[in-house]
Amino acid sequence: MASITPTLRPLACSKSILRRIRQQNTAVRSMMTTTYHRTGFVPPPPIPGAPHVLRKLKAIAPLPSAANKIKDPVKAFQDDQISVLDPTGARTHLFSRKNPESAKQGDILLVRLKNGDPFAGVCINIRRQGIDTGILLRNQLTRVGVEMWYKIYSPNVEGIEVVQRAGKRARRERLTYMRKPKHDRGSVQNIVLQYQRTRGPASGSTAVKVQEGLKGGRRKSKKGRK
């Protein structure tokens, strides 16, 4: 308690008195010994002389998470799609690195489409991106070099066949040097026609057919191209 001071006459108006009283009240409240707890938790009264120990906070274990189980959801999502688009696994097998009979860069491939003319060409690039794996085929149609990318898992692609294997293993992954006149294979039409003639009704050992919908693929390519 403050020492007793001599009685002071209130100054000016009651405004200043009330202001001072309000200030005193807030100061008095700050000296309160009892506290009100929102959570209802009342801490035990402090023991004089004992060191202040922080109360233990409830440690809650984390929930099981799908993110921990599946660390690469993009790959898992792609694998789900591949199982639908390539149920037999034939397309994956055709371009698998583990497959010694796989289609490689340098081979001549024929792609048959659901909507459109089939396209054949030298495979100069295989871009492996999971479901977006694509092949770049180069051909010359009436002396004009044409390169086409095809996604191997696209539903529009009916089938991919290996028309001719490269004689010698290419010494690099991307064969873009084939764009130069010195290394350009030119048109592969003759090779493709010969392959289709020799194939006949029996399935050749070199041709890897895809089982989904083989209808008139041979006949389509016999149409004259302009």
Contacts to another protein by CB under 8 A:
2, 4-8, 10, 14-15, 17-27, 29-30, 36, 39, 54, 57-63, 65-68, 70, 72-74, 76-78, 81, 84-85, 114-115, 130-132, 151, 153-156
If the CB atoms of residues 61 and 202 are measured against another protein, the closer one turns out to be 61
Q: Select 20 or 128, whichever has its Cβ closest to another protein.
A: 20
Question: Taking the complex as a whole, how short is the minimal distance between the CB of residue 26 and another protein, in angstroms?
Answer: 4
What is the Cβ-side half-sphere exposure of residue 117, based on CA atoms within 13 angstroms?
A: 9
C-alpha pair distances (Å), 121 with each of 3, 131, 189? 105, 22, 8
Rounded to the nearest whole angstrom, what is the least distance from the CB of residue 155 to another protein in the complex?
Answer: 4
The closest alpha carbon to 90, from 139, 159, 141, belongs to 159
Kindly state the smallest distance separating residue 36's Cβ from another protein, in Å. 7
Report the residue number, 35 or 190, with the smaller CB distance to another protein.
Answer: 35
Compare residues 6 and 48 and give the one whose CB is closer to another protein: 6
Cβ-based nearer residue to another protein, 57 or 144: 57
The 3-class secondary structure across the chain, one letter per residue, is CCCCCCCCCCCCCHHHHHHHHHHHHHHHHHCCCCCCCCCCCCCCCCCCCCCCCCCCCCCCCCCCCHHHHCCCHHHHHHHHHHHHHCCCCHHHHHCCCCCCCCCCCCCEEEEEECCCCCEEEEEEEEECCHHHCEEEEEEEECCEEEEEEEECCCCCEEEEEEEECCCCCCCCCCCHHHHCCCCCCCCCHHHHHHHHHHHCCCCCCCCCCCCCCCCCHHHHHCCCCC
Q: Provide, rounded to whole angstroms, the least separation between the CB of residue 59 and another protein.
A: 7
Q: Which is nearer to another protein, 24 or 99 (CB)?
A: 24
Q: How far is the CB of 156 from another protein (least distance, A)?
A: 4
At closest approach, how far in Å is the CB of 20 from another protein?
A: 6
